[in-house]
Amino acid sequence: MLKITNARVFVGGEFIDREIGIEGGMVAHIGNVGESDETLDAKGQWLLPGLIDPHVHLREPGATHKEDFASGSRAAIAGGFTGVIDMPNSDPPTTTVQALHEKKDLAKKSKCEVFFHFGAGENNFVEIKKANPSSLKIYMGETTGKMYLDGRTVETHFERFPKEKPVVIHAEGNNIKKAIELAKKHNHRIHLAHAPSAAAVRDAKTWEKATVEVAPHHLFLSDAFNPKLAAVKPPLQTESERQELWSVLNDITCIASDHAPHTLEEKEKGAYGFPGLETTFALMLKAYYERHIPFPWLMQRLAENPARIFSLGKRGKIEKGYMANLILVDPKKEWTVKGEELQTKCQWSPYEGWKLKGKTILAIVQGKIVYQENEFV
């Protein structure tokens, strides 16, 4: 058994002083653990549930020059994420059972847990049924890859995919309302990815079975950002729209990085997306320190809600019988974002030079220490 002592443990919505005992990959004890094979002294740091990012593009297969499961999972762990859900717009796309199995094999080298959204295609209804995924991603907007769908095909996916499982939608503008109307028509769960504005969040929340995520770049960057690097889908909004997005925080269900790495050369040619796994948590901690959000809100949106929405089992909380996916965070650690020091292959960040506070110093995945003091075990 691994015993963690002297930690400020986040349990039940608050910090408490408790020992944690880990056995068989699970949280076995919370309280006085007693004898153990190994003891880890947390030295007063925060012990949190491992974060879960429901929206990442790890680029393997097909674009491993900008990321792969090894580098992307290291970026996730360094950023506090012990689990991620990979998007299907790789090359080939994750729209067949074979492609999914091949991707799972490639992901075996990951340092964190990796789950997968299955992709909706023009006519892959049989493949979806065979794969029986926990979520289906539909692209109702143009982005990286060739998975854009419209018209009758989209509605057929809503008709055929199990109503109790979420359809994850990439949509922009009027297509957001169209997606919500389809969900209402078919009484279907729906998850709106990377909502860029307060209006998009409000549109989603007109349906009781809708959940909605927001990416940090829509919260922290506006369309005044460096035009050479600004391309992202959905696009950055005006400064007033960016500020308004903060006004609907309580309607946001998840914070997701939408980690979408490209080389700097590709970005300057207009490639869509930003790397974000290593900055998302620290940026949201910035909002916490500036008293924009309470800490329990943050843990719900970064850990508990993603696990619940996407049926990831007993994850997202520190609780007896839950998976021992945990992070130890130094809340006072100040650091400056430097692309050359990041784990992501692309080695740049839209937040270059930003001074942030709060750093993951240790990570445990399925009961095993995988990261400690900037080193991967």
Provide the annotated active-site residues.
258
Pairing type for strands 368-372 and 375-376 reads antiparallel
Q: How far is CA 143 from the centre of its chain?
A: 18
Residue from 197, 187, 151, 150 nearest 167 by CA: 187
d(CA 24, CA 314): 14
Phi, psi angle pair for 203, to nearest 5°: -60, -45
Decide: helix, strand or coil at residue 374. Answer: coil
Q: Are 176 and 204 in contact (CB under 8 A)?
A: yes
* Pick from 96, 101, 103: nearest CA to 64: 103
User: Do residues 123 and 216 touch, judged by C-beta distance below 8 A?
Assistant: no
DSSP H helices, the chain, are 69-78, 97-106, 125-131, 152-160, 174-185, 198-204, 216-220, 239-245, 264-268, 280-289, 295-299, 305-309
